Amino acid sequence: MSGIRETIITAFPGAKEVSAWTLTGNKNLSITVLTFGGIVQKILVPDKEGRLVDVVLGFKNPADYSGPHPFFGATAGRIAGRVTRGDLTIGETKYPLPINDPPHHLHGGIASIDRQVWQATPLSREDGAPSLKLTLTSEDGENGYPGKIELSVIYTITNDNCFVFETEARSDRPTPVSLTHHSYFNLAGEGAAPTDDHELQIPGDSAFEADEWMGLTGECHKVEGRPNDARSARPVGEFRKGLWKEHGDLYWLGESKRVRPAARLRDPLSGRILEVATDCTCVQFYSGIGLDSSLIGKSGFPYPSGAGVCLECEGYPNAFDEDKRFGSIMVEPDLPQRTRTEYRFTNQSTSLISS
């Protein structure tokens, strides 16, 4: 049945008051969101016969998210992605950010918003779609960032099997914000074989250059003729072998006030398709190469390299200076920043790859 329900987690470390909220749409697509980190613990997707499969990596026990993990399902920020060498400069003032992915700053730093408890409020919509709003205040100076910001994230399951992820940021002074949703997707199921056979398509015709440590150099190149060209669907396993360190790249989508296609992923075994659309300027593809079987998933099996892939819609992480080539992630007082990303699930037997 469609709707929304809360489950109190009584054994969360640190005696934190954490809840799990499950949102179910009228076609049985459902997500479970933790107030800890705004983490999406579970996404259940029906197949053609209505059988539900969990398609995101993570832990069965919510308390395990308080331990080490690679941002499974998290809301990442204040700045998603890598700020090169942690060098945040606004005007003439430098704000050194903590280097938590040497030599760069990654996903907001240490114990950032993905490690804090958000406040939850169910929302009422005219169409009856289940919707949940999480809010969090990040204080001035937290992880080196200037300004006090009020963050909100809205999770909605629409009537056509779409998971909508919306963000809003308000600040009392100019400061950069770029949030992303960081699920690892395996459309065959979170405990299935690695995603090598998944078919990936990214319409972006340009991607950013990275240095030896995956930090951005500020250079953006056309993908035509390069190994990172995914404008036509390609098997993930084959595709990642041509990427630097088999990691994945940040693709430039351009500026837009409306959502438009950012990526498409298909599992050939089940026929499940995930279509991602966003009004963000970039999408980061991550191959999951860093998984090493040390983490045990919800099905009781370890997650090997490539067990899931990420499609992180975000702003250009270094878009906080006067160079506006790649947009801006700055939030100004009295001018809130809003983003919208959609994850639409369907099932189709036809391959995305042209024969």
Q: Catalytic residue numbers?
A: 182, 312
Peptide bond into 103 cis (omega under 30): yes
What phi and psi values does residue 237 have, to the nearest 5 degrees? Answer: -60, -40
Of the CA atoms within 13 Å of residue 20, those in its CB half-sphere come to 19
Give the Å distances, CA to CA, from 342 to 154, 235, 242, 279: 12, 23, 28, 9
* One-letter amino acid for residue 116 of the chain: Q
Torsion of CA 73, 330, 218, 143, to 10 degrees: -60
Q: What angle do CA 247, 191, 5 make, to 5 degrees?
A: 105
- Residue 240: enclosing H or E segment and its boundaries? helix 236-240
Residues forming a β-bridge with 30:
24, 44
Contact at 8 Å (CB) between 250 and 282? yes
